Structure 1
Amino acid sequence: MSQATDYVQHVYQVIEHRDPNQTEFLEAINDVFKTITPVLEQHPEYIEANILERLTEPERIIQFRVPWLDDAGHARVNRGFRVQFNSAIGPYKGGLRLHPSVNLSIVKFLGFEQIFKNALTGLPIGGGKGGSDFDPKGKSDNEIMRFCQSFMTELSKYIGLDTDVPAGDIGVGGREIGFLYGQYKRLRGADRGVLTGKGLNYGGSLARTEATGYGLAYYTNEMLKANQLSFPGQRVAISGAGNVAIYAIQKVEELGGKVITCSDSNGYVIDENGIDFKIVKQIKEVERGRIKDYADRVASASYYEGSVWDAQVAYDIALPCATQNEISGDQAKNLIANGAKVVAEGANMPSSPEAIATYQAASLLYGPAKAANAGGVAVSALEMSQNSMRLSWTFEEVDNRLKQIMQDIFAHSVAAADEYHVSGDYLSGANIAGFTKVADAMLAQGLV
């Protein structure tokens, strides 16, 4: 056993002993650890400085109660979290998630992933994440406003333009960002760069709403081109019907692919004529309805309960855009049986470890989330730049910058994989490219 292998195993055992029940966090760590041994073998200075143990322990974890009144006048309490994971290359940057599943393990896994995702963008932003187990579904606008105001009253003590800049995530869209920013402004003043994903009339960036979905399509397009493939003529399965999925559908179709599925937590639709993203957007973003409504309006569409990854339908490319661990090992086998040759992740860690192993055993082209869905945080950082300069770039300028960033992420991942003799392994390439950038910054700054 090499020194590097022994070191990786030792650090993982330390973390597992400290946090044995944080399964999502341990999964995210294992995803990185299993790919970086070649780097540690060539750079023993990372081992000597104990970079892995330092990198996997958050710089700061903040947990707080969020009391709020519902419309009936009853006092309700939720848990709030912010994990400020690593600031070696810039202020903490990462979204806020509102969902009943949110706990410390999920926030830590998301924050850990964010370190490498942010590093891959080439922009000066560190990794963080936050949120609450509050469920916005079924809540009135006033209830959501009261929750967001209470949440920000506490969170505002720990964030700032040069410290920590949150954004949206699952359950946090333009409405929630508006309420959060309004409360921050009331408490701390009009520092517009402290939150991203804002409305266009108070400091938001054009193309931010579309960024994660567009970025996923741009990354996938680069992966296809590198393997002498292209979108035209390809059938594409997408999960989810939120922000990422909607704009991934739009951009994939602009690039020539045909998206035949989308889904929500209840079920999925198949439309052999191609999903109409405008109808999905109307149902989910305007009416806040269920994806079943799509099949009620579109004659060529059929609705089914359950996971889209259990469907028996032919497609060439799979773009999971819903949530973590949405694809199991068996579902990955079904995906391959349906004809998929390419998987690129629009959600955070949507593929289970068994699913990833299945992709790799079948030699699928696999684009991991930390690379493929980095478009959202990239444009968030561009929003920060515009706020600092008191400028507003055109949609086309932001979109062009986004496209270049996604092309660079793919190119840097390929170069890292080639350098460490794992060519064609885009997961290892992304992990290595992100890890080395952060590790070198940590070494340069000393033991802090």
Structure 2
Amino acid sequence: MISKILIANRGEIAARIIRTCKEMGIQTVAIYSEADKDAPYVEMADEAYLIGPPQVKESYLNVDKIIETATESNVDAIHPGYGFFSENGKFAKECEKIGIRFIGPTSHVMDMMGNKIEARKAMKAANVPIVPGTEDAIPTAEEAVEIAKHIGYPIMLKASAGGGGIGMQVVNNDEELQKAFQSNAKRAEMFFGDGSMFLEKKIEQARHVEIQLLADRHGNVVHLFERECSIQRRNQKVLEEAPSPYISDETRLKMGQAAVDAAKSIGYTNAGTVEFLVDREENFYFLEMNTRIQVEHPVTEEITGIDIVKEQINIANGKELAWKQEDLSYNGHAIEARIYAEDPKTFFPSPGHIKEFDVPKGRNIRLETAVKSNYQVTPFYDPMISKLIVTGQTREDAISLLKETLEHTSIKGIKTNIPLLLEIINHEQFLSGNTTTTFIEEHFSPIKKK
């Protein structure tokens, strides 16, 4: 049984994992860079080790140093959180080599689903609907233009190994595709070590809806219903909710079953998420599978009462899932707002010294945070500093509580996106549940604000 876990991550997700470990009586080991020496999660852990300078390649992406720390601190398992090594099959293999459990799926499955082209092929074989597009990597821009003529514009140009919107671009004609192909391929090569590109038909007025899965090592797979994640900027989510205010019960049932079928077809284990694009007629198409815990997992926890991190650890311990699909249900409505250290008008990061950090506490308010008062936000990492999650009996209750909480949140010393969040949740389209992935671009982009 796992008695000691190293968290190969930082910030709010490290703190969140440590909290569940403490509840389970499991010892924790934190790692930190020089920039994170005063971070709250470092104080929370039973042990903490400096692993390098602020730059991620020399600290949080330093395989040798993390493995060395895990070995020397005598841990049983490593939890990768999200980002960094969470979807890196090579890192999972390194853990497997030295007998440390990687809390996630197998390295083989991770590699398969981490390559978007291979993932599309696997989902097609499992009869999961996929977006029309190419089956293989496209070697040249010229060949991409020829293929695009058959698919039809607008088209999504995507990096096979991409994530977080990197290497992804909408193109509307041959000229745009020619210009975008090389630059996106180079960017993907730089970030992921793989510049392979492919094309997908852009689904117009699409919604982004994802299904949370849990799969044990005994062949049991369940879904924990869906999350609505359509409110994004630069292909990064800003606000998520569960359940979706848009899809019907019939579509919910079909999507959940498709996600379960997808996981079973590839022998998936642990927590994972299947992301779908949903069109105006509620047709849904496989987008990608995230082989890790998601940033937005708390909204699912709030409506189901299931601690997903606890279940990840239970699965890694070889335990069977405690429920069948028919045992699961949800209650209420939860919304998560990501609080970023960024200028709400330009979306540019806004690092600096937080003089005051004060978020209201109360029933149905949950805060997952990476910062505190008198804390320095550095420019080295993702600008998300906190997640504010609220729950209500109805969607209207949750929106009202979120509005009240954001209005009484005080973060002094840096700029944050709280003004933007308030604009979003007061917008007529959001209030009606009628938002697509282009909502922010259409109403709140820097260009629109000029």
TM over 0.5: no
TM-score, reference length from structure 2: 0.31
Which structure carries more helix by proportion?
1
TM-score, reference length from structure 1: 0.32
